[in-house]
Amino acid sequence: MRSGSPIALRAVFHALRKSPIGWPLRWKMYRQSRRRFASRRSMMAVSSPSSGSTRVLVTKLATPPGDDKLTLKGEVTLPHLFNPPLDPLTNGVRLLINDSAGNLLDLTIPGGAFVDPPAAGWKVNAKVPVSKWTYLNKTLAPPAGITKVVVQDKSLKLPGLVKFLAKGKNGSYAAFSANLPLTGLMVLDPPTAETGQCGELGFPGPAPSPACVFDPVAGKLKCK
């Protein structure tokens, strides 16, 4: 979850509202939470769309929901050495795509090795230490349609460089031109990026800055 996001802060607020403590103390705790979220936000790394390797692509939007395709791709440079170490096999990841109206996607993919059945889970490469984690879901109904996630530690190329990819199909990623731009988020220490291990994809526009283009006839949304 993006540090300081309305979703995260709303969850804190509702949790405090149900607590038995008095309102003055609740409000004080809520404001403290906002400051903590803001601090974590400053630790976050933002992926650079100008690199040409960052994009969000949603297709089949002109047809009824349930057959949409999604590609989210980016790279981010995190503080190195990683603390804690990257470990999607154990921790999983969280994917978010937001527009001005709210969430198009908010999915936490749990850790756990790939097993068949049910044909879902994480695989790792044979390097020591591990440098590539691949999540596959070959079931008939993957959560939110996400069938593949790849996280790669490219620190040998550039210390702290992490590349990531997510693919989905047969999903419902309802995007509308009136709600642009989009932002994407890959949380590598789910659920709330406590350590700042999180990459954000931003497409504020207008072109030639990174921007989103919606084609209603083709049913395609492309952000790059």
Burial track 73-107 (b if 16+ CB lie within 10 A, e otherwise):
bbbbbbeeebeeebbbbebbbbbbbbbeeeebbbb
Positions of the chain with pLDDT lower than 70, given as ranges: 1-52
What per-residue confidence (pLDDT) applies to 194? 84
CA torsion angle 24 25 30 36 (round to 10): 130
Distance CA 188, CA 76 (A): 11
pTM, rounded to two decimals: 0.78
Give the pLDDT confidence score for residue 175 in this predicted structure.
Answer: 86
